[in-house]
Amino acid sequence: MIELTEISKHYIIGKEKLKAADNVNLKVEKGDFLSIVGHSGSGKTTLLSIVGALTKPDIGTVKINGTNLWSISDNELSELRNKLMNFIFQFSSLIPTLTVLENVLLPTAFSKERINRNDYAMALLDMVRIQDKANMYPSQLSGGQQRRVAIARAFINEPAIVLADEPTGDLDEETEAEIMTLFRKMNEDKGVTFLLVTHSSEIAKQCKKIYRMTHGILKPL
């Protein structure tokens, strides 16, 4: 389903060259539930962004369902981001000018088929226990609540792959457990593939496969 081959990416910071991804090879099968752990700054977000087609690697190929990502048109790439894989960002990622419900529905604005997903959006908000805030603006929500909205949003277009960058970073243990239950349910019932970046060994333990990132180098644990 996802196949990274000899991926490298570096950033120039000042005069130094920083390898954020260093010859990374990774294969993810459909229905996998995989986590990546590693120190801060080790390149986890960078790697996830490469998988999610948000940034182009310096070298190496990314194949999703057999398609080489950077050989297709920007429009096709956008469609992949819209339908096939969705991102849960590490940081707050809601649009401040839209309500919670509108934020959840946002990916549907860019879909080819314009079906009404209101009910599904409300159901998702319900699943992350935030349905009563549907008509509020992000600024009226706590950080954890905003994170839950972003999680709900990732599922709105029923993607096959969810790329979650520390999705439970600012949630309490109980909510974290609820979110993990939701993820597992999506994984088991709908076959959604998960790539999870986490600092929590608790979460990592619940995953089928664990990888560790150190200075841009990815190794299975």
Ligand X SMILES: Nc1ncnc2c1ncn2[C@@H]1O[C@H](COP(=O)(O)OP(=O)(O)OP(=O)(O)O)[C@@H](O)[C@H]1O
Token output for 81: 């981001």
State yes or no: residue 18 binds ligand X (CB under 6 A). yes
For residue 3, the SS3 value is strand
The two beta strands, 16-28 and 161-165, are: unpaired
Give the whole-angstrom CA distance, residue 125 versus residue 139.
17
State yes or no: residue 8 binds another protein (CB under 8 A). no
Q: CB count, 10 Å around CB of 180?
A: 20
Q: CB count, 10 Å around CB of 55?
A: 15
Using the rule CB under 8 A, which residue among 5, 67, 82, 200 binds another protein? 82
State yes or no: residue 46 binds ligand X (CB under 6 A). yes
Q: Point out the residue whose Cβ comes nearest to ligand X.
A: 45
Give the whole-angstrom CA distance, residue 35 versus residue 203.
8
Decide: 44 and 197 in contact? Cβ < 8 Å.
Answer: yes
Using the rule CB under 8 A, which residue among 29, 39, 95, 185 binds another protein? 95
Instruction: In angstroms, give the least distance from the CB of 6 to ligand X.
Output: 18
Give the whole-angstrom CA distance, residue 161 versus residue 164.
10
Instruction: In angstroms, give the least distance from the CB of 213 to ligand X.
Output: 6
Using the rule CB under 6 A, which residue among 7, 28, 37, 42 binds ligand X? 42
Instruction: In angstroms, give the least distance from the CB of 109 to Mg ion.
Output: 27
Give the whole-angstrom CA distance, residue 105 versus residue 208.
30
- The option from ligand X, another protein, Mg ion, none interacting with 113 (CB < 5 to 8 A, set by class) reads none
Any bridge partners for residue 220, and if so which? 211
> Which residues neighbour 162 within 8 Å (Cβ) at sequence distance 6 or greater?
85, 86, 88, 154, 155, 183, 186, 192, 193, 194, 195
Size of the site for ligand X (CB under 6 A): 13
Contact set for another protein, span 36-75 (CB under 8 A): 49, 52, 54-56, 74-75
* Side-chain-facing half-sphere of 130: CA atoms under 13 Å: 32
- The option from Mg ion, ligand X, another protein, none interacting with 18 (CB < 5 to 8 A, set by class) reads ligand X
Contact set for ligand X, span 65-94 (CB under 6 A): 90
State yes or no: residue 78 binds another protein (CB under 8 A). yes
* Contacts with ligand X, residue ranges (CB under 6 A): 11, 13, 18, 20, 38, 40-46, 90
* Contacts with another protein, residue ranges (CB under 8 A): 49, 52, 54-56, 74-75, 78-79, 81-83, 86-87, 89, 91, 93, 95-98, 101-102, 105-111, 114, 116, 118, 153, 157
